[in-house]
Structure 1
Amino acid sequence: MSFTPAPWPRRLRSQEWYEGTSKDAIYHRSWMKNQGLPADLFDGRPVIGICNTWSQLTPCNAHLRDLADRVRHGIYEAGGLPVEFPVFSPGESSLRPTAMMYRNLAAMDVEEALRANPIDGVVLLAGCDKTTPALLMGAASVDIPAIVVSGGPMLNGWFRGERVGSGTALWQMSEAIKAGTMTEADFLEAEQAMSRSAGSCNTMGTASSMASMAEALGMALSGNAAIPAVDSRRRVMAHLTGRRIVDMVKDDLKPSDILTRPAFENAIRVNGAIGGSTNAVIHLLAIAGRVGLDLTLDDWDRQGRDIPTIVNLMPSGKYLMEEFFYAGGLPVVIKALGEAGRLHRDALTVSGGGIWDEVKDVRNWNDDVIRPFDKALTAQGGIAVVRGNLAPGGAVLKPSAASPHLLTHRGRAVVFESIEDYKARIADEDLDIDESCVMVLKNCGPRGYPGMAEVGNMGLPPKVLRRGITDMVRISDARMSGTAYGTVVLHTSPEAARGGPLAVVRDGDMITLDVPNRKLELEISDAELAERLEAWRAPVERPPGGWAQLYHDHVEGADTGADMDFLKGCRGNAVGRESH
C-alpha cells in the first residue's frame, strides 16, 4: 500500500486552541504556561498526547511512568510539545467482576480525552490485557495519528530449575494442589518466582498477544512486542516512538490509513503463528468495528486455519517471552509468514512503509523458540471457530493449547448454571462426572457475568485429577486467560443470558465436538430445542445503575467483539466549540 504524506506545514488541531490573540486562545495558553512552558512551544508545533495507563493497581503497567519520560524526550527532540494524561486503567489482576467489563469504558475515556483536548497525535502507553485494545479502540474512533508503545513482558520466572510462566504456572499448580501432587507450602514458595520483575505476563498470554497484534496491525514500531520491560531497549523503543509520532502528525498518517483489511488479515495469521490468545479474537473484532471494517469470526477461521504455530512459548510450548525476544521476536515470525506467502507485504505501518520492509532482513537466532514451518508445534494453529445448534453464532477454541485426542469428542453434559454453581459443586466427590464428560458453564458471557470473565478454563474435578487426567472438554460463553490451556470451547454465541441454546443444555444431554469439521452440536431434536428455548426465562437481573447498567443494556455479543452498540464506528476528531 502506498501512502502520500499530507502537505506541510498545515493547520493543526491544536491551533484551534492556541493560535492567535483572542480571549480563548490566551486563556488556553496562559493556563498551560503555569507548568513553566516557554511561549514558543505554542508557535504551531505539534502537540503530542502521551496517553498513559500507568496505575499501581495495574501491576503490568506500574512502570509506565518511566517509559512516558522516554517518549517525552523523543517528542521534544523531533520538535513536538508532549503532554501526558491519564486514562482509566483496567488491571487484569485486580478488577472485579472482571477487567473485560471495563475495556469499553477505558476506550470511551481515551476517545473523549483525545477529541476534547488540543492534541494533534498520540502515543498510546499500554501493557495489561485490556489496555492495548481499549487504547486502540478509542484512538481509532477519533482517527488522529496514533502509535502504540507496549510496557513489555516481565523476565522469566524460575522455580527449582524450571521456568515459571505467569498465569500458566498458576493454573498448573492449582490443579496439582487438587490432585495431591503439590503441597501448599511449595505453591506459596513458587508464588515468589511468578512475577519477579516489572512487566506483563511472560507467557504468550493476552498481554503479549495484544502487543503482538498491535505490531502485526502496523500500529507499533517493528520489534515493539517482545522487548522485556526492564531491558534498556524497551526505553529506546519508547524514545524512538516519541520521535516517530511527530513525523506521523506532519504526514497526517492516521489509524484509518493503517487499520485496513490486509492489516487485520496479517494480524490473524500472526496470532495463529504465535499461538496467541483467544482474547485477541474479541479485541480485533472490536477494533475493526471502530474503523467500520466488517471483520467476522469467519475471517478468523478462514485466515488462520492453515497457519502453523511456530512460536514455542507457554501455554502452547515450553519457553517464555524473554527467549522469544532473544530469538528475534515478532519480526522473525512476520518474516516467516511473508516468505511462506501468507503476509500482505504492502500493508502500511506507522513507519510510513510496508510491513515487509520492516522485517525482510531480520534473522532467527534460535530455531527451537521460533521454529521453521516444517517443525511447527501445531500444523493448524489458528483459532478454530465451531458452529452448530449449540453455537449458531459461533464459538472459539485454541488448537495449539488443546489436547489432540479431544478435538473430536462426544460426551455427556455436566452442567453448571453459573460460576458460583461450579465452585460449589466441582469438588463434591458425589458429582456424577468422569473424564469422558463435557463440562458446560452458563451465564458467563458479556451480559451474563456481567463482563465475560476468564472462567472458561474450569478446573477439573479433584477426583478426576487424582486419576492423572489433566484435560477434559469444557464449553462456556465465558473467556479464558491467554495464559491458560486445555480443550476449552469459549465465547459460545449467543450467550446463555440472551437466550442462546447454551442456556437450555441439561445434565445428561450428549454433546459432540468436531474441531476438524468445525462442528459443535447438542444432540436433541430441533423441536425439543425450540420447546426448551420457548420455556426459558432470563436469569440475570438488570443492574441498578451506573456503568454496570449501561454495559448490560448496550454491550453486544462476543461474536462481534463485545463492544457497546453506541461506541462502534469512527466519530472523527472535529474540534468542539470555544467555551469562554
Structure 2
Amino acid sequence: MTASDAVEEPGAGALKRPEELRSHQWYGTDGLRSFSHRARTRQLGYLPEEHLGKPVVAILNTWSDINPCHVHLRERAQAVKRGVWQAGGFPLEFPVSTLSETFQKPTPMLYRNLLAMETEELLRSYPVDGAVLMGGCDKTTPALLMGAASVDLPAVFLPAGPMLPGHWRDQVLGSGTDMWKYWDDKRAGLIGDCELAELESGLARSPGHCMTMGTASTLTAAAEALGVTVPGASSIPAVDSGHERMAAASGRLVVDLVRRDVRLSRILTREAYEDAVATVLALGGSTNAVIHLIAMAGRSGVRLTLDDFDRVARTVPVLANVRPGGRHLMEDFHFAGGLPAFLAQLTDLLNLDRPTVAHSTLREQLAGARVHDTDVIRGRENPLAEEGGVAVLRGNLCPDGAVIKHIAAEPELLRHTGPAVVFDDYRTMQRTLNDPGLGITADHVLVLRNAGPKGGPGMPEYGMLPIPDALLRQGVRDMVRISDARMSGTSYGACVLHIAPESYVGGPLALVRNGDLITLDVEARTLRLEVTDEELARRKADWTPPPARYGRGYGALYTEQITQADTGCDFAFLSREGDVPEPYAG
C-alpha cells in the first residue's frame, strides 16, 4: 500500500457518537458557553451544520516564510483540509513555531521543548478531537510528537518531505553533506569563489528538508516506523504530487482515528519505540535521533536509554546506502521502495503485531512491500555495514555516555590515541584553530567544551569541528574530535558527541588539559582520558562553575529545567509523571 492509497481502518471498537466527541463540550451543550462558541464560529463564516457533531481536527502547521524546509506546507494544509472534509470532519488550522534549522540561533534545539509545550497546551485548550501534525525540519518532528503524546489525542504526523537532489556541473549534491565537503575544498584551495557561487545555486533547489539521511530524514522515518504516518509518507519528495495526495490521505485518516478513539498511547508503545530505534540504526541515521527518541519515549511513558541503542546497534545491519554514510539520496530511497520496503528487510527484528494509525498491525502495513533498487536498499546478505550506524561510548570522559556515528568516519580513526587540543568555546575555536603556534597535527584530538545543553546554550551542532586549514591543504579530511555538542545529521567524520554530563556542569570534559592523551576505541565502546582518578579529583576540586548564561526569560527557564543528553534534553517539569486535568469548557 502506498502513501497515496486509501488506508485500512485500524479498528478500536464502536464508533464514537457525536455527543462523545471532546469538542461536544464546547459546541453541543445547552449552556451559555456553547451558545457563545457557536455564535463565534458563525463569526468565522461557518454554519452549524458544517461543524456540529463532527470530529474537529487541528492542523498544526509549522510553515513560515523563513523555513525553506516547510515553505510548501501552506499548500499542503489545504490538502489536509480537503481530506478532513471528505471524511466528514471539521478542520481548523493552527500556526505553531517553525524552528527553522537554517536560520534560528543559537540553535533550534533551544526551542524544541518550547514547540512541544505549545503543541501540548494548544491541543489541550482548544475544542479539538484529533490533530494532523505538519513538520519535518529537524526539531519539529520530535517537538510535535512530544507535545501530542502528552495530550494523547488521535493524531497523524505529516512529514514535510525531502527536497530534490542538488546539482553542480556533473555532480549530484546532497544538502549539508556536500556543503561541508566543498567548503573544506575551498579552505584547502581546491576550488575558488566562482565554483562556490555555483554551488550556492545548486545545493538546495526546491522546498523540503535535507535529502540526505540527516536528522530530518532520520526522524521522519522514525515517525513512520513508530506508526504515526500514512505508510510510505516519510520519503516522498516535498514537491512530488504524491506528497499532496499523502496530505489529503492524512486528513481522511485522522477523522477515522477520532471516530474509533485510536489515541497516540495505543500506537506509541514500548514495541513501537524499539522498532524506531532499530530503524534509525539500520538507516545509518543521525546521532540526533538518540536524544530525540529518548525524549519522545519519555513523553509516552516509555523508558528508553543509551544502552537500548547500543544493544540494538550490535544486532542491526545498515541497509540504506544513503549519504552521508552511503552514496544515494532520499529521492533514490523513495523510488527504491521507501520505508515500507526497507522495513520489510528487517521483519525478524521488528514487533510486527503492534498497531499503526493506518493498519491493525505493522505486519499488514508491510505486506507486499518490495525493493526496486537493491543498491539503494540493501538486502541482509549485502549490508552497507554489519552493525548499526551509531555506537554508544562509555569511559571516564563520558560516565553517562557519548555517541559516535562510526559509519561516517575514517576506519583508521575508530581506534586512536592522541594528545588533546582544548577549546573552551566555539568562538575561541573559530578564532584560534589555524594558529600555527598550536602545532596541531592529524594525530591530535580536537576537544570542544561548553557546547552542551546548558553550556551551548541549547547544545548547538558544533560537533563536526573544522579541520585546520594547513591540514586540509595536506589532504587530511578527518580527525578525532570530541565535544558535548551535537552535529548535523548531514555531517560526517570521527566526531564523538553528546558527552554527558556536559562540561558546563562540571563533567569530566571540563577537566581536560592541552596535551592530555585521549583514547577512542569504538569496537570496545570506550572513550578514556589517560589521567589517573586522583589527578581528575584534584582538577575537579579546583574547577569553578561558569557564570549563568541567562538572567531572565525563556533562556533562564531552559537552563533551570533542561536535562542532560543521555536523558533526552527534555524539561524536567514536562518529562515527569503527573496528571493534567481536562479544561472545563462549560
User: Taking structure 2 as the reference length, what is the TM-score of the superposition?
Assistant: 0.96
Deviation at residue 578 of structure 1 after TM alignment: 3.9
Q: What code does the residue aligned with 1:500 have?
A: G
Deviation at residue 271 of structure 1 after TM alignment: 0.7
- Structure 2 CA distance for partners of 1:270 and 1:47, relative to 1, 3 Å: same
Whether 2:262 is the aligned partner of 1:240: answer no
- Structure 2 CA distance for partners of 1:569 and 1:406, relative to 1, 3 Å: same
How far, CA to CA, are the matches of 1:374 and 1:405 in structure 2?
Answer: 25
Deviation at residue 240 of structure 1 after TM alignment: 0.6
Greater CA drift, 277-286 or 34-43: 34-43
Whether 2:215 is the aligned partner of 1:206: answer yes
How far, CA to CA, are the matches of 2:490 and 2:531 in structure 1?
Answer: 34
- 2:4 maps to none
Contact 1:269 1:382 in 2 (8 A): no
- Gaps in structure 2 of 5+ consecutive residues: 1-9
- 1:180 maps to 189
Q: Deviations over 1:33-80 (max 9, x none)?
A: 122212113432110110110111211011101111001011011111
Deviation at residue 32 of structure 1 after TM alignment: 1.4
Question: Which residue among 346, 354, 358 is the counterpart of 2:353?
Answer: 346
Question: Which residue among 400, 414, 434 is the counterpart of 2:421?
Answer: 414
How far, CA to CA, are the matches of 2:368 and 2:515 in structure 1?
Answer: 57
Q: What code does the residue aligned with 1:225 have?
A: S
Question: Which residue among 125, 128, 138 is the counterpart of 1:129?
Answer: 138
RMSD: 1.4
Q: What code does the residue aligned with 1:424 have?
A: R
Deviation at residue 539 of structure 1 after TM alignment: 2.0
Whether 2:486 is the aligned partner of 1:479: answer yes
- 1:488 maps to 495
How far, CA to CA, are the matches of 2:13 and 2:314 in structure 1?
Answer: 36
How far, CA to CA, are the matches of 2:360 and 2:417 in structure 1?
Answer: 49
Q: Alignment partner of 1:430: what SS? A: helix
How far, CA to CA, are the matches of 2:524 and 2:381 in structure 1?
Answer: 23
1:129-278 pair list within 5 angstroms: 129-278=138-287
Whether 2:522 is the aligned partner of 1:507: answer no
Extract structure 1 runs of 4+ deviating beyond 4 A. Answer: 569-574
- Structure 2 CA distance for partners of 1:328 and 1:529, relative to 1, 3 Å: same
Q: Alignment partner of 1:140: what SS? A: helix
Contact 2:287 2:404 in 1 (8 A): yes
Q: What code does the residue aligned with 2:226 have?
A: L
- Structure 2 CA distance for partners of 1:215 and 1:248, relative to 1, 3 Å: same
Whether 2:46 is the aligned partner of 1:37: answer yes
Contact 1:141 1:572 in 2 (8 A): no
How far, CA to CA, are the matches of 1:435 and 1:369 in structure 2?
Answer: 33
Deviation at residue 145 of structure 1 after TM alignment: 0.6
Deviation at residue 216 of structure 1 after TM alignment: 0.6
Q: Alignment partner of 1:335: what SS? A: helix
Q: Deviations over 1:253-272 (max 9, x none)?
A: 11111111111111111111
Q: What code does the residue aligned with 1:563 have?
A: D
Question: Which residue among 465, 478, 494 is the counterpart of 2:472?
Answer: 465
- Structure 2 CA distance for partners of 1:572 and 1:170, relative to 1, 3 Å: farther
Greater CA drift, 179-188 or 374-383: 374-383
Question: Which residue among 8, 21, 26 is the counterpart of 2:30?
Answer: 21
Question: Which residue among 456, 461, 470 is the counterpart of 1:454?
Answer: 461
Contact 2:16 2:261 in 1 (8 A): no
- 1:8 maps to 16
How far, CA to CA, are the matches of 1:64 and 1:569 in structure 2?
Answer: 33
Deviation at residue 337 of structure 1 after TM alignment: 0.5
Contact 2:359 2:365 in 1 (8 A): no
1:517-536 pair list within 5 angstroms: 517-536=524-543
- Structure 2 CA distance for partners of 1:540 and 1:322, relative to 1, 3 Å: farther
How far, CA to CA, are the matches of 2:58 and 2:405 in structure 1?
Answer: 37
Deviation at residue 569 of structure 1 after TM alignment: 4.7
- Structure 2 CA distance for partners of 1:578 and 1:326, relative to 1, 3 Å: closer
User: Taking structure 1 as the reference length, what is the TM-score of the superposition?
Assistant: 0.97
How far, CA to CA, are the matches of 2:408 and 2:277 in structure 1?
Answer: 17
Deviation at residue 304 of structure 1 after TM alignment: 2.1
Deviation at residue 382 of structure 1 after TM alignment: 3.4
Contact 1:493 1:557 in 2 (8 A): yes
Contact 1:142 1:570 in 2 (8 A): no
Q: Alignment partner of 2:498: what SS? A: strand
Q: What code does the residue aligned with 1:289 have?
A: G
Greater CA drift, 114-123 or 533-542: 533-542
Deviation at residue 103 of structure 1 after TM alignment: 0.3
How far, CA to CA, are the matches of 1:374 and 1:426 in structure 2?
Answer: 44
Question: Which residue among 87, 112, 117 is the counterpart of 1:108?
Answer: 117
Q: What code does the residue aligned with 2:365 have?
A: E
Contact 1:311 1:371 in 2 (8 A): yes
Deviation at residue 573 of structure 1 after TM alignment: 7.1
Deviation at residue 222 of structure 1 after TM alignment: 1.1
- Gaps in structure 1 of 5+ consecutive residues: none
Whether 2:327 is the aligned partner of 1:318: answer yes
How far, CA to CA, are the matches of 2:42 and 2:67 in structure 1?
Answer: 32
